[in-house]
Structure 1
Amino acid sequence: MCMVIFAPIFAICAFATCGGYYGHLQVKVDCADRRQGNLSINIDFGYPFRLQQVHFKAPLCETRREEVVFLDGDFSTAAQFFVTVGVFAFLYSLLATVVYVFYQNKYRKNNRGPLVDFVVTVIFSLVWLVSSCCWAKALSEIKTATNPTQVLLLIAACRARENRCAATQEPLWSRLHTSAVFGFVNLVLWSGNIWFVFKETGWYKTGQRYPTRSASGKRSSEMRQRLYSESSFDQPEESFGPYRGDSFNQPSGDFSKQVQRQASINQSQVRFSLPQTYLGKNGLNERENNVVTQGPTIFVNEM
């Protein structure tokens, strides 16, 4: 919404203050011989600031003739580039406003609208940066080229010490300063809008689909796992036996079969034998002859 409201306004202010500028400089030449005195010379210049084409007539104090003097410098490239960027930014802002308001569904269809808007916003941000810097540098050079002291040096009569020359009116630069300021304001506005346009694209949504776990989240998950493991050790011992709680929910017939099956397995694995009893010395001799016994042996001595 910020771009919809302020972008067209700032774009108009940028190219209007630069493209509609008109400067006026007035100097006075007073010759020493009084042949030609108090002559006022008006020098007018403006957009696109081709100062080498700006000329005026200055008197020659030695004779009654006049000379044609041209200013120095051509700053049309930077000025026209700045104005062109402002005009295109204004037109695109109007087009984007119409699309946002009346064609919102088509704007979001297949995610093409946000991607195009993102690319164009980045391009305009870079272009505003270049054009504003170029125009600020050109403005400084224009002020130097139209400085009254610099202009008076171009007049031959003013280079003579006996003649008197002065500037009676200097150009106002506030309008051009405002245009340079609006250029950088547009740069900040378009650069700040990059983030909001990026959020509308699918790239931002893809990055938010799988968020990274923070350190606090990892610590909380580890704490939950630790609490879960501690709670599992606090359960009664019957839960760790061969039969779980869900086995008691089975029918009684199945449970008896399972117990019999388990008992048969244990009998097959381990063979128990009853203890054998030996009386007297014969039992001792037989025990010595048998190397392997199958169970515990009890010996009873004769009285």
Structure 2
Amino acid sequence: MHVERGTTHSEEDAEPSSALTAIFAFGSCGGFSGSNIVTFFCGNGRNETLNANFHYPFRLSQVPFIEGNTTICNQSVTTTHMVGDSASSAEFFVGIAVICFLYSMLALLVYLGYMHVYKDSDFGPIFDFVVTAILVFLWLVCSSAWAKGLQNVKDATDTEGISATLALCKGSNITCEVTEFANMRTLNISVVFGYLNMFVWAGNAWFVYKETRWHSQKFISQSGHGRQQAPAPI
């Protein structure tokens, strides 16, 4: 959260925007569920299809791709799970977004009800600045981690990843191919919102810094130094 003395309207308007970007971040990631359609070309002119379903938190190694003993292209296939686990990066990303949303709501409560306490205290702006700076760093880390995790999900659910998972697709006349991909646009957007949140909170950190005594002391020091260098009147 950030505060500029004498500009309470801008303070109250900033926190809803921070909360909104956080909502878009965890909403576009946390609610995802998709399915790729895998086609098996059996080599005798007959094709079969299966759905590769996956969803948040993308713990793919626990998602059964084939359940029980299933016959595909006249070959028996045992229970098979997809490969990969991006749950840690996805949950970290969503967790930071939820924390930022809650912090924005707390900040808005302070602006609306306790602004006089915030302005009259050195602790409030300094605490606010430290927390905001930490959140900026966490947004950078979690967005980068989730971007890598999302790429791992894409690799595990594409044709090459599915073919590597199924022994059926190796060394036989059966060709496996993902013929229809799940729409991952919202997941791509979540990464964009992650980095956008980093810039939004970095802007908040700058405004908070201007309310701390560190900035005030620096401003007073620079002003005093400027007055000492001024030429004496003749």
- TM range, smaller chain: 0.7 to 0.9
Map 1:277-292 onto structure 2 (within 5 A): none
Question: 1:175 Cα deviation (Å)?
Answer: 0.8
* Distance (Å, rounded) in 2 between the aligned partners of 1:163 and 1:209: 77
Question: Matched residue of 1:213: which SS?
Answer: helix
* Distance (Å, rounded) in 2 between the aligned partners of 1:86 and 1:133: 14
1:24-50 deviations in whole A, cap 9, x for unaligned?
A: 11112232357xx43210111011110
1:29 aligns with 2:40: yes
User: Are the counterparts in 2 of residues 61 and 157 from structure 1 also a CA contact under 8 Å?
Assistant: no
User: For 2:54, which of 38, 45, 49 is the aligned residue?
Assistant: 45
* Distance (Å, rounded) in 1 between the aligned partners of 2:117 and 2:170: 69
Aligned length: 219
* Distance (Å, rounded) in 2 between the aligned partners of 1:72 and 1:3: 42
Question: 1:161 Cα deviation (Å)?
Answer: 4.3
- Hey, what does 1:121 align to over in structure 2? 132
Moved over 3 A (4+): 58-63
Question: 1:126 Cα deviation (Å)?
Answer: 1.1
1:59 aligns with 2:71: yes
- Hey, what does 1:213 align to over in structure 2? 225
Instruction: State the structure with more CA Rg.
Output: 1
* Distance (Å, rounded) in 2 between the aligned partners of 1:61 and 1:4: 57
Map 1:127-276 onto structure 2 (within 5 A): 127-210=138-221, 211-214=223-226, 218=229, 220-222=230-232, 224=233, 227=234
- Hey, what does 1:88 align to over in structure 2? 99
Unaligned runs of 5+ in 2: 1-9
* Distance (Å, rounded) in 2 between the aligned partners of 1:102 and 1:174: 40
Unaligned runs of 5+ in 1: 228-303
| TM-score, normalised with respect to structure 2 | 0.85
Give the direction of change, closer, same or farther, for the CA distance of 1:59–1:212 in structure 2 (3 Å limit).
Answer: farther
Question: 1:92 Cα deviation (Å)?
Answer: 0.5
* Distance (Å, rounded) in 2 between the aligned partners of 1:206 and 1:52: 55
Give the direction of change, closer, same or farther, for the CA distance of 1:60–1:40 in structure 2 (3 Å limit).
Answer: closer
Give the direction of change, closer, same or farther, for the CA distance of 1:156–1:33 in structure 2 (3 Å limit).
Answer: farther
Q: What letter is aligned with 1:19?
A: G
Q: What letter is aligned with 2:71?
A: P
Question: 1:143 Cα deviation (Å)?
Answer: 1.0
Higher RCO (C-alpha 8 Å, min separation 6)? 2
* Distance (Å, rounded) in 2 between the aligned partners of 1:221 and 1:109: 37
Give the direction of change, closer, same or farther, for the CA distance of 1:217–1:168 in structure 2 (3 Å limit).
Answer: same
* Distance (Å, rounded) in 1 between the aligned partners of 2:165 and 2:193: 34
Cα RMSD between the aligned structures? 2.1
Identical counterparts, % of pairs: 36
